[in-house]
Amino acid sequence: MNADPRLTTPFDSSATAAEVIDGVDLTGRRAVVTGGASGIGTETVRALAAAGAEVTIATRRPASAEPLIRELSAVSGAGPVRAEALDLSDLASVDSFARAWGGPLDILVANAGIMALPKRTITTRGWEMQLATNFLGHFALATALRAPLRAAGSARIVVVSSGAHRKVPFDFDDPHFTQRPYEPWAAYGQSKSAEVLFTVAARRWVDDGITVNALNPGYILTNLQRHLDDDTMRAFGVMDDEGNLTPLPHYKTPAQGAATSVLLAASPLLKGVTGRYFEDNQEARVVHGDEEEPGGVAAHALDRRAADRLWEYAADAIR
């Protein structure tokens, strides 16, 4: 567990992605944003490209990124943006994407994700789909791109996790729900704990100049909620009786939700920082047990022994 003082920044929870990167010049830097064609991924792409970075949107449907690419091509000073196919649940697709990459890679934003699939769904490898997409696919992508990240000299990996990790440690005995009953939120929370543990175990890449940090973007209405039925959305208080989405006062806009991702990806304030978890543009406090106060990172997600065990599990799984 990190014993250093919590890192603070001048930005509060209402800051936008554009605000946290204001004044930062990313000309000549290259970035990959998974799931960059929608939601907070789109806002992450906008901010990085507007600062001059060359951005690749990695998405299952590259055509869906065309409107964003056209938009950014008209922005003065923006870096070039393109889209490439990537299905994180398919290791062949991950391998194809990584093999096609040429030259250094400065920023990898592991943003794509799926949430609360109502029924247990497995990949061709027998992996539970949320763990496959949210964690194992990103782990495979990061390890496959390690050489380009190392070649950049001071690369950053940003992992978009969730506060849902707090109550669900990683289950090493049954990660794919083959023995225990499948529960959508348990599967989602476990995948998000795995993402945070990955950042802790990635301290082994520090000598390569690669830093890895995780974040909770907060509550935002995006396509991530597409697997939730109307009754669930109403129970959460974000849908009215007519089916209209009604964000609660504490919800963020996508531009605000992307702020912490962009902060970790590009701000000089995060130079050399690794293995930490952020929310609302600040490093989060550590929480233990069943604390009800919102926010924070669970101690189980920062445990170094569990992180190293998970790294070995994932490395073996993707072979």
Q: State the residue for tokens 């992605």.
A: 17
Q: Alpha-carbon distance 104 to 150, whole Å?
A: 8
Spatial contact of 287 and 166, defined as CB atoms under 8 Å apart: yes
Cα-flanking dihedrals φ and ψ of residue 60, to 5°?
-65, -30
Catalytic site includes residue 251: no
Burial of 242 (0-12, 13-18, 19+ CB in 10 A): exposed
Cα-flanking dihedrals φ and ψ of residue 156, to 5°?
-125, 135
Beta bridge partners of 108: 32, 157
Exposed e or buried b per residue across 34-59, where buried means at least 16 C-beta atoms within 10 angstroms of its C-beta: bbbbbbbbbbbbbbbbbbbbbbbbbb
Q: Alpha-carbon distance 170 to 183, whole Å?
A: 14
Spatial contact of 112 and 139, defined as CB atoms under 8 Å apart: no
Secondary structure class of 92 (helix, strand, coil): helix
**Which of 182, 188, 219, 277 is an active site residue?**
188
Hey, which residues are catalytic here?
188
